Amino acid sequence: MLLLWIILILTPLIACSAIPWGGNRLPILMYHKVRPAPADDLNVPLDVFEHQMDALARRGYESISFAGLRAWHRGEGSLPRRPVLLTFDDAYADYETHAAEAMRARGFDGTVFLPVGCIGGENTWDGGGEPLMNWEDVRNATKNGTEFALHSFNHDNYHDLSLEEMRVDLARCMAELDARGIDYQRTLAYPYGGFPRTEPMRSEMKKLFRELGIDFAVRIGSRIERTRPRDLHEMRRVNVQGNDRGIRFLVKLLRGRTRL
Ligand SMILES: [Zn+2]
C-alpha cells in the first residue's frame, strides 16, 4: 500500500516534468468498446476515453501503427519520441463514431483487431447482441486512417487450438481479407489473450507465425512494451479500463498496471 502511494505521488511529478520516462518505451493500450455508457469489463465510457486521449496528447505522445513499427524495425522511417499504439479488439460497430472520432480530434489513429468470420455479425463468442463492423465500415475506417489486423476467424482461444487448427484459422482469415481486398497487417491479437504457455507448443506456434509472415502478436501483459520487444509474438499490452481516470491512467501509462 505504501509503495502504491509513493508511486501515486511520484507519477505526476515525473509525468509533468522534463524528466524523461526512459527511452524505448512503447505503451500498447488495449481497448474493446468506447461508448457513452457506464463502464464495464469491456467499455471505457467516451468521456473517460477523451480524457485519456487528452492526457496522451498533453504529454507529447504520438500514435504509431504496427506497419510503422515494422518499417522502423527494418531500418525505414523513424518513431516519434513518445510512441503509443492504441489498439481495439473485436471491431465493435460504433468504433468509428466514438473511439476513432475522439482519437482523430487529437491527431491519433488506432489499430482494430478483426474476428474476421464475425464481421457484419455480432459478438457471438460472448453471447451476441453487440453488432460488429461490416465490411463497408472496415473499408471506410481504412480510408480514414484506421489500421486493421487479425483477431482469429471465430474468436477462438489459441490456448486451446492445435498447431494445425491455428494454421487453418490464420489462413482462413488472410484468404477472406485478401478476397475482399481489405488492407490489413499480419499482426495477431490473441483472443482472450490466450496462447500455449508450455514448450514445445509455444515455440512451434511462433515458428508457424514466422512461416505465415505473422510478424507481431500481442497478448495482455499489463506491462509497458519496448520499441524493440524481447518477443515479437508476445508483445505486452496494457488493459485500459473505464475507471482509469486521472492519476490511475498515468500510473498505467508508467507501469502498465495499477496493482502492486
Ligand atoms: Zn476479442
Boundaries of domain holding 146: 25-255
The answer as to whether 6 is a domain residue is: no
Under the banding of pLDDT at 50, 70 and 90, the label for residue 89 is very high
Contacts of residue 121, Cβ cutoff 8 Å, sequence gap at least 6: 131, 132
- Chain segment 159-172, per-residue pLDDT in tens: 999 999 999 999 99
**How many whole angstroms from 113 Cα to the centroid of ligand 1?**
8
Distance 115 CA to ligand 1 centre (A): 7
Assign residue 39 the CATH number of its domain.
3.20.20.370
128: buried, middle or exposed (CB in 10 Å: 19+, 13-18, 0-12)? exposed
Using the structure block, give the residue that is written with the C-alpha cell 468506447: 34
**Rounded distance between C-alpha atoms, residue 111 and residue 254, angstroms:** 21
Q: How many domains does the chain have?
A: 1
Query: How far does residue 31's CA lie from ligand 1's centre (Å)?
Result: 10
Please tell me the distance from the alpha carbon of residue 37 to that of residue 106, in angstroms, as a whole number. 22
Q: How far is the CA of 78 from the centre of ligand 1 (A)?
A: 30
Output the CA 73–ligand 1 centroid distance in Å: 27
Interval 173-180 mean pLDDT: 98
Residue 212 included in any domain: yes
The alpha carbon of 47 and the centre of ligand 1 are apart by a number of angstroms equal to 23
pLDDT in tens, 220-251: 999 999 999 999 999 999 999 999 999 999 99
Separation of CA 200 and ligand 1 centre (Å): 25
